[in-house]
A and B are shown apart, each in its own frame.
Chain A
């Protein structure tokens, strides 16, 4: 035993204070209503960024089969582990956005156990009051979209001889250099040549527009990026970005439906 063992307050490692606890920081800031909606805003912004670039990438449909098939091959094979990091990040954002928003909504529902007999609005937009409903429709649509194009389980391409159908994922395209790649172009054309699928996509795009037209400007407000001067700019940006995403995606469906892209 050292000489200090009989000290009343012996020297040693630093004593812990309440502020030295990282878990307390998470509980303090990320579990509050403002902290959670900031997380919803950040994950929402990341998801919108993805959807915007997804739409821009899809516009390669207009540049012909070689362009989009090459792009799809690049994303799937040339990025290596990056594609899995991106997919994991997207899934994380999606799940966090969904669970936090639903959790906040359940708290808000509990905050008013008895509603008003006479409902009234002074200025609320329908989009702002239906974020949960539109969000859930978009969420289900994302699952449908994955089942349709990523996993190819919804619909197949009818074979030319009329017997059976080819799975989307088995469609092949021969690049000019002779390499066989997945024929994304034919897959998209086959999908949107089917009226009910096109209709589902168009309707869900409208719902997405409604969700984003409030969601984007709301994210600006939640992240504290607006003031009296730029509130209108944030609103216009929200409708503009949402409109651009929907217009780009609409263009592809309508062009195939109308026979301009074959």
Chain B
């Protein structure tokens, strides 16, 4: 298969970037998108050109490292797939493919397709955890959790923090990411204790990092390689309103009324 690739090239964080065009052939449909770029990079190195920098790690769809906008869609056209799980058979021979980094103020481009996603780390640091006293492990059955709640927590916990939600959102909002973290912990009794404070601090960090607001467009849900539902955003909003009411009525936002 032959392709014409338009790739964003930017030598460094402060440097000016531009779209560069490369032609590539000898690609098979069974190659993953990243393998196709590997082939391109081999050829660029042979020609004495700086290879295209991109993030990747596990290449099996679970780490969330590979992040690129492919023809205007985060992780490309396949549903529920990361870029590494996208195969070239999803494209037609001779296609033109536009490859861009995630675009958001909170995700500054470091080089080519690599962006700094530590904004997500700071959001998690501000509340995406539960405080537990270490000591002897409690009995596994001492805290009964309904299966439905465990399933819901697992649905949200699938989030791999790749940033596709914020990249795909027309408002560059990372609300689905925050909602997944808040929904994951809030579905469990261990997380409920701090849920009110968690939503407030995580949203405050989300805003401070420079992400936009959610206007319920739903592009995040479609882009998410783990197909996390925007229903978690509704849950986040519900918890946020509850936190505001608790804080106003009780003078503080802690678990329980």
Task: Report the stretch among A4-12, A75-83, A215-223 that lies at the interface.
Answer: A215-223
Say whether B218 contacts A124, CB under 8 Å.
yes
Contact of B106 among A32, A111, A227 (CB under 8 A): A111
Whether the pair A224, B237 counts as a contact (CB closer than 8 A) is yes
Residues of B within 8 A of A25 (CB): 244, 247-248
Give the nearest-CB partner of A100 in chain B.
B213
Binds A, one of B133-141, B185-193, B203-211: B203-211
Determine the chain A residues whose CB is within 8 A of the CB of B170 once the complex forms.
108, 124, 129
Contact segment of B36-44, B50-58, B82-90, B222-230: B222-230
Q: Known contacts being A25-B248, A113-B105, is A128 close to B234, with CB within 8 Å?
A: no
Asked whether A112 lies within 8 Å of B100 as measured between CB atoms, the reply is no
Q: Chain B residues near A128: list those with CB within 8 A.
A: 215-218
Interface string of B215-257 (1 = CB under 8 A from A): 1111100110000011101111111110110011001100000
Residues of A within 8 A of B217 (CB): 124-125, 128-129
Q: Is the CB of A223 within 8 A of B215?
A: no
Is A177 an interface residue, CB under 8 A from the partner? no
> Is A200 in the interface zone, CB < 8 Å from B?
no
| Cβ proximity bits B88-125 to A, threshold 8 Å, 1 near / 0 not | 00000000001010011110000000000000000000
Q: Is A224's CB under 8 angstroms from B223's CB?
A: no
User: Which of A34, A109, A119, A120 interacts with B240 by CB under 8 Å?
Assistant: A34
8 Å CB interface, A111-141 against B: 111-125, 128-129, 131
Flag if A111 contacts B100 (CB, 8 Å): no
> Counting CB contacts under 8 A, is B212 at the interface?
yes
B63 lies within 8 A of chain A by Cβ: no
- Chain A interface (Cβ within 8 Å of chain B)? 19-20, 25, 28-29, 32-38, 104, 107-125, 128-129, 131, 214, 217-218, 221-228, 231
Subset of 25 A-B contacts with CB under 8 Å = A19-B247, A20-B251, A25-B244, A29-B243, A33-B173, A33-B207, A33-B211, A34-B203, A34-B213, A34-B237, A38-B240, A108-B212, A108-B215, A111-B105, A114-B103, A117-B6, A118-B69, A118-B98, A120-B71, A120-B72, A121-B72, A122-B73, A123-B222, A221-B233, A226-B231
